[in-house]
Amino acid sequence: MLEFLISLASYILLLGAWLIIFGWVVDRLAPKILPDWLSYRKFMLRRAAKNSMKSNEVLWGEERHEWRDVLDPAREFPDLDHVWISATTGHFEKLGCQYIRDIENTTLTGQLPKMRTFIRTLLSPDGRTTIGIYHFKNRGLLGWWVGVLGGKIDARIIDIESEFHDGTYLCITTASRQSTLHEPPHTTRCFGPEDATPEQLYQWHQAWLDYLHQTRGVVPTIMKDHHDMMEMEHRRQAKDGAYRRSKNYFTEEDANRIALNDRFARDGEELARIMEKLRVDNQDK
């Protein structure tokens, strides 16, 4: 239920909204003003890389993420779409899913306070699947820049996830593929259309469960309550974190995804080289 949210947060931190984006905005004017603009741009990229690594050490670190219950979502998050969240919850409840509780990842909030949100969690009747419903809004200057670059400022997202006994995961999400880091090898992530109904997404997830069982023989972990769901979330966080740390938080696939946008093509390649050097330097210490 947090797979996309942390990935999106890390992606935004990586793109930085720190100075990489600023560099794109003034790129055409700066060479006329600053003779040594290329060196300055590399300096900005190094700073962005260091800032990104520092934040991602928290998001993908070995420490468990902290969570808290949200008892009054409408009061604490008045700018979110509670009508949509309640309606979507109702669709899943009609499918037999059980509402569990509303939660906030305070570790994530600490890194991106302007993007804080809560997750409505549900559990499928057979205990094989968790559902996370959340409204993600990029607030403040960072949110404005993401919007300028074509990002999603107002994202109403449904994540449907299952864990298998072999340590792999399945996630169906309505998030945008272009807004995330590359999925780790232990995760099958499928992107559903934003206008898909909860019923369609749930049926699609069930079909994927059956397909993976038939082709790989994997068996889903059964969850009974909030405790089981959070333990699954912690196991996934640990596995995702270990993978991200082994890649210095930034993979070649991530660089390629950035480079698909011609605004970032040059920066994506340079950023990959800088972060690889930082990784090597850290290993040598």
Answer whether 208's CB lies under 8 Å from 188's CB: yes
Residue 142, Cα to own-chain centre: how many angstroms?
Answer: 16
Q: Specify the pLDDT at position 255.
A: 63
Q: Which candidate, 224, 229, 233, 159, places its Cα nearest to that of 198? A: 159
Mapped onto helix, strand or coil, the DSSP state of residue 77 is coil
Q: Which domain holds residue 22?
A: 3-284
In the chain, the number of structural domains is 1
Query: Which residues in the chain show pLDDT less than 70?
Result: 1-45, 47-49, 51-52, 140-153, 177-180, 252, 255-272, 275-276, 278-285
Q: Specify the pLDDT at position 46.
A: 72
Q: Specify the pLDDT at position 168.
A: 96
**pTM tops 0.75, yes or no:** yes
Q: Specify the pLDDT at position 18.
A: 40
